[in-house]
Amino acid sequence: MFDVQLRRGPGSIYRRLKSLQYLVGRDREAVRDFVGSSFATALPLRNRLRLFRRFVTTTNHVRAYHTQTEILTVADRILRLSGRADLTVVEAGCGKGASTAKLSLATKLAGGRLLVLDGRPVHFRAGAFAGTLASVQRTVARFGAIDVCEFHKGWFADTLPAVTRPLDVVLLDVDLVASTRTCVKFLYPRLRPGGVLFSQDGHLEATVALLRDARFWRDDVGVEPPAIRGLGTRKLLEIPAPA
């Protein structure tokens, strides 16, 4: 008998089959809710389905570190703010660009701008989490809407102080607790009413401990500790804008 090894990487048949398995299982409820959502501006069903198909295509071709449920949750919030003047979305930690491409599509539909901060992430092992900014830009050019993106390369501590505009939706996927500390300190106070900061690091004990620390919120961020949806129970955390 031949021992046939099925290729499992991006673009493979295996990847497409796994994607389909998740869509009809783990992510089914999120897909249904997204397709049936009412957004701030009219978005016909065919446009929602087209957007979702592009999400799936990106997943099938680019290594991603989020589920469709997670990225649809963020995209839903962006689209609910459609039409807001100077709508600004921030992604801190862009991996290999899969989430960046998807966020750019939702941001374009909502009429906003996407600020992409790479943070020069640490390579935990070769090729695991981080991609070069150039590769992220190529991914967005192929699968997303690069015309709404602004790319900022450099350590978060160096690039974030220059982000002074009001923000509406922020997504952190930064892995290191020190990076979470820096990003929350600079970005959370800039959220406008109705905005939200998401973190995809809710599965990391150090991040959970930081976000539970009232002294961090009061001393570093300068606000009272907010209610954090999902803290200690799930990977994607949701922190509403300061009251």
Residue type, 134: A
DSSP 44-89: -HHHHHHHHHHHHHHHHHS--SS-HHHHHHHHHHHHHTTT-TT-EE
Task: Return averaged pLDDT per consecutive 10 residues of the chain, 243 residues in all.
Answer: 54 71 78 78 82 91 89 94 96 91 96 89 43 85 97 91 96 94 97 97 97 98 97 97 88
Tell me what pLDDT residue 132 has. Answer: 78
Has residue 8 been placed in a domain?
A: no
pTM: 0.88
Could you tell me the residue range of the domain that residue 196 belongs to? 13-240
> CA-to-CA distance for 99 and 235, rounded, in angstroms?
15
Tokens (6 digits) for 117? 């901060």
User: Tell me, what CATH number does 208's domain have?
Assistant: 3.40.50.150
Q: 210, 142, 148: which is closest to 175 by C-alpha? A: 210
Tally of domains in the chain: 1
Q: What SS3 state is found at 155?
A: coil
5 within some domain: no
Residue at 185 is within a domain = yes
What pLDDT does residue 11 have?
A: 62
Q: Tell me, yes or no, whether 165 lies in a domain.
A: yes
Place of tokens 């955390």: 237
Could you give the 3-state DSSP secondary structure of residue 3?
coil
pLDDT on residue 169: 98
Distance CA 188, CA 160 (A): 11
Q: Is residue 1 part of a domain?
A: no
Cα maximum dimension of the chain:
66
Q: Count the neighbouring beta carbons within 10 Å of the beta carbon of residue 96.
A: 21
> What integer pLDDT is reported at residue 24 of this predicted model?
72
Measured between alpha carbons, how far is 51 from 181 in angstroms, rounded to an integer? Answer: 33
Instruction: Determine the 3-state secondary structure of 92 from DSSP.
Output: strand
- 159 in any annotated domain: yes
Of all helices (H) and strands (E), which one includes residue 195?
Answer: strand 191-199
170 part of a folded domain: yes
Plot region of 175 (φ>0 → left; ψ -120 to 50 → alpha; else → beta): left
Could you tell me if residue 188 is inside a domain? yes
